[in-house]
């Protein structure tokens, strides 16, 4: 059994008593670009989509991944929005109530995105720090 080491800032204690990195949480959305809209979709995403996502205080990062060889099914792009923690969902709800004008502007912005993208299912993902490793050199 591992010794009961003190928890350093930014870390959580595992159920076995050891330490590991704090979990990272991601809201993962899927999408596909509408036919013939590739250039416009890329421009909209770069100029409007990413800045809007990053403007939310609960967002830590955003990255997009292209599914390779069609293994992802119908939706070829995944958007991984890293959020602070589970409480971010309460903050989102509160922000929508407290900031109706910002909510309206954001809604209009993402409604515009429907011209370029078809949205698929979304899910909440968390990493598993104890499973990660780096090969020895």
Q: Checking DSSP bridges between strand 19-21 and strand 25-33, what pairing results, if any?
A: unpaired
The number of folded domains in the chain is 1
Among 93, 88, 73, 77, residue whose Cα is nearest residue 31: 77
How confident is the model over 58-97, as pLDDT tens digits? 999 999 999 888 777 889 899 999 999 889 999 999 999 9
Determine the structural domain holding residue 51 and report its residue range: 22-126
Q: Give CA–CA dist 81/59, Å, rounded.
A: 7
Structural domain includes residue 74: yes
Q: Residue 49 is part of a domain; what is its CATH number?
A: 3.30.70.100
Structural domain includes residue 137: no
Structural domain includes residue 134: no
| Residue that has been written with the tokens 């929508």 in this structure | 96
Q: What angle do CA 13, 126, 117 make, to 5 degrees?
A: 160
| Residue that has been written with the tokens 């596909």 in this structure | 32
Instruction: Report yes or no on whether pTM surpasses 0.85.
Output: no
21, pLDDT greater than 90: no
Structural domain includes residue 2: no
Structural domain includes residue 115: yes
Structural domain includes residue 109: yes
């Amino acid at each position: 059994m591992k010794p009961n080491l003190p928890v350093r800032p930014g870390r959580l204690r595992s159920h076995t008593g050891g330490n590991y990195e704090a979990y990272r949480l991601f809201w993962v959305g899927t999408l596909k670009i509408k036919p013939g809209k590739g250039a416009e979709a890329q421009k909209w995403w770069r100029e409007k989509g990413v800045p809007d996502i990053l403007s939310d205080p609960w967002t830590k990062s955003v990255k997009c991944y292209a599914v390779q060889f069609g293994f992802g099914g119908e939706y070829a792009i995944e958007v991984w929005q890293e959020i602070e923690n589970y409480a971010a969902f309460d903050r989102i709800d509160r922000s929508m109530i407290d900031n109706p004008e910002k909510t309206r502007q954001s809604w209009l912005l993402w409604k515009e995105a429907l011209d370029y993208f078809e949205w698929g299912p979304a899910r909440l993902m968390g990493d598993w720090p104890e499973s990660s490793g780096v090969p020895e050199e």
